[in-house]
Chains A and B, each alone.
Chain A
């Protein structure tokens, strides 16, 4: 038995091919291929979306660093005390008042004490405590009222604020991360930023601002997604 005989036996009587079936299947397949190609064109836009997101993000960052803005920071406390006519300022009151507004993380820069007397005899003692990270007004006021030297004296505490010129990004960072800001204030700052960016980028842009408030790893992430105009078709 030769290989040829084996081949003939195994091939058998080969039925003829059906050209009609071949042509019909070709037509159906090409239609499916065309539909698939159209779908691929649609999907091919996705890289442009990614580029648009990245470009929008960069644009936003650059804009935020170029727009000048300013914000106020607390640089100290002013404590006003109205003394009675016959009352003299307690000894070393300035240092005691300053101590009432200090915490472990505070940095005291200077203390100024001014005494103003009016013609009717009353005196206003004004203590300016200049420093960083002083305690909150309420807490400091409680500590002051606990001092025996100030018993019965009217005390008023206000913040001393200074203006800081910065860019938009600096303002946002300050608003979101400043010490003592409540969650509501931070959320308001975040919403303001989103609105500002929305105005800059247009209604079509999708703005995301994520804030990580972890003190060890404070982060602000701004993401702007917007569709860039379609690229011009390649010239033939």
Chain B
């Protein structure tokens, strides 16, 4: 997907969608190529195994194709629609697997590194932030993941989670404030300085 400001990006994706709905094969291919990155990243950040993530990516795009005629770009952006489908696929997958809580699956925070050496060389501050994040409720974690991990706007997060934009702003602000106060309290105790 070309690097465009979000209003242009949304308009471009909507145009591709409409052309795809009219039977334009090239437009559908461009739409797929534009959405593959965001959808793939969304799932790979939340699914530990690459093969599982790829399978879910496939499911999302086939579901997208099945519902192509029903997607109304006036009701929301195409990108958010695709991400909502990815979230649904993730929740369905978690529900079908025993022992996994669907909400936890959507709120999963990606691993910092695959092997211990990478972990050792990783940013200690990042590790600390991650440990504080793990203490937050799943809903708050998902909110922060969508905002700071996936880089979605408040309006887009609201569309994915089915909340109002005001509620998303309020909850995000509260969660960040809480996280920063914990962070500051940790610094005051000198935990970070002695960590590692």
0/1 string, B167-196, CB within 8 A of A gives 1:
000000000100110010000000000000
Interface set, chain A 160-217, CB cutoff 8 A to B: none
Q: Which of A1, A21, A29, A30 lies in contact with B179, CB distance below 8 A?
A: A1
> Is B112 within 8 A of A29, CB to CB?
no
| A–B Cβ pairs within 8 angstroms, 9 of them | A3-B148, A5-B126, A8-B123, A9-B130, A12-B130, A25-B36, A29-B62, A36-B65, A36-B68
Residues on B with beta carbons closer than 8 Å to the beta carbon of A10: 109-110, 133, 144-145, 148-149
Q: Which of A6, A13, A18, A29 lies in contact with B176, CB distance below 8 A?
A: A6
Interface set, chain B 76-120, CB cutoff 8 A to A: 109-114, 118
6 nearest A-B pairs in the assembled complex, by CB-CB distance: A12-B110, A10-B149, A9-B129, A1-B183, A7-B148, A9-B126
Q: Does A104 contact B (CB under 8 A)?
A: no
Q: Does B11 contact A (CB under 8 A)?
A: no
Minimum Cβ distance to chain B for residue A17 (Å): 6
Q: Which of A17, A25, A34 lies in contact with B58, CB distance below 8 A?
A: A25
Residues on A with beta carbons closer than 8 Å to the beta carbon of B40: 17, 22
> How big is the A interface, by class?
20 to 34
> Is A29 within 8 A of B65, CB to CB?
yes
Q: Which of A1, A13, A29, A40 lies in contact with B129, CB distance below 8 A?
A: A1
Q: Does B61 contact A (CB under 8 A)?
A: yes
> Is A18 within 8 A of B29, CB to CB?
no
Interface residues of A, dominant DSSP: helix
Closest to B149 in A: A10
Q: Which of A5, A12, A36 lies in contact with B112, CB distance below 8 A?
A: A12
Minimum Cβ distance to chain B for residue A29 (Å): 6
0/1 string, B121-149, CB within 8 A of A gives 1:
01101100110010000000000110011
> Is B144 within 8 A of A6, CB to CB?
yes
Closest to A12 in B: B110
0/1 string, A54-80, CB within 8 A of B gives 1:
000000000000000000000000000
In the docked arrangement, what's the CA distance between A37 and B125, Å?
A: 52
Residues on A with beta carbons closer than 8 Å to the beta carbon of B25: 30, 33-34, 37
In the docked arrangement, what's the CA distance between A34 and B23, Å?
A: 9
Question: Quick one: given A1-B180, A3-B148, are A14 and B65 in contact (CB under 8 Å)?
Answer: no
> Is A12 within 8 A of B123, CB to CB?
no
Residues on B with beta carbons closer than 8 Å to the beta carbon of A8: 123, 126
Residues on B with beta carbons closer than 8 Å to the beta carbon of A147: none
Closest to A25 in B: B58
Q: Does A228 contact B (CB under 8 A)?
A: no
